[in-house]
Amino acid sequence: KNEVEQSPQNLTAQEGEFITINCSYSVGISALHWLQQHPGGGIVSLFMLSSGKKKHGRLIATINIQEKHSSLHITASHPRDSAVYICAVISPPGNQFYFGTGTSLTVIP
Amino acid sequence: EPEVTQTPSHQVTQMGQEVILRCVPISNHLYFYWYRQILGQKVEFLVSFYNNEISEKSEIFDDQFSVERPDGSNFTLKIRSTKLEDSAMYFCASSVQGMGQFFGPGTRLTVL
């Protein structure tokens, strides 16, 4: 069973498009992470959030605790945004980490 | 900009051998983590470490694995008696409380 589900699995967009990646989870959480994994394999933490909304540049992350759902939005997408975006949650009481399988994004010039 | 470093970048070993993967977390961070990613699969949590002890571990982290902070800077993952299925990318990460994690570039472990 997957505690964290992401959609879509794969996404292709034209440069400039607004992109949304969704994450649903089935466990109680203390925090949710959005991570970016580059084609070379490196991982960067984009956001950690437990409520509301966070914005960093063209990236926006929202979370709805009641609905157990989070979204990652990318405005004015660019080819350099091409990567795998991973949702991960921390679940108490033991603070176990659960990862989604990732959304592979390709932005075409 | 501070960064997490990992050595080696690629480790090849024979099945049954012991390997030690090394990580240098960011200097003022107090929370340390190991993850693994088998090729083509999702990232999996192995263990978290705080205040010189394991704070959480997954069911993957069995007696074959151990972690240590032997000095003030290094954080190591030891895999005893490696198996073929241990072949994966191993990522180290560190953080301060309540903040996002900084990931290292990973060590690719290949078990032959």
Q: Which amino acid is at A93?
A: P
Q: Which residue has the higher pLDDT, A39 or B15?
A: B15
End-to-end CA distance of chain B: 37
Rounded average pLDDT over B16-20: 97
Distances (CA, A) of B86 to A21, A31, B11, B80: 31, 29, 12, 10
**Interval A34-71: pLDDT, tens:** 999 998 889 999 999 999 999 999 999 999 999 999 99
How deeply is A57 buried, as exposed, middle or buried, from its count of CB atoms within 10 A (0-12, 13-18, 19+)? exposed
For the cut 80, the answer to whether the pLDDT of residue A13 exceeds it is yes
Q: Which pLDDT belongs to residue B105?
A: 95
pLDDT, position A10: 97
- What pLDDT, in 10s, does the model give residues B50-60? 988 999 999 99
d(C-alpha A53, C-alpha B72), whole Å: 36
> B84 and chain A: CB distance < 8 Å anywhere?
no
B48 touches chain A (CB under 8 A): yes
- For testing contact with chain B, the best of A97, A101, A103 (most B CBs within 10 A): A97
List the single residue in B37, B48, B102 with the smallest CB-CB distance to A95: B48
d(CA A18, CA A11) in angstroms, rounded, equals 12
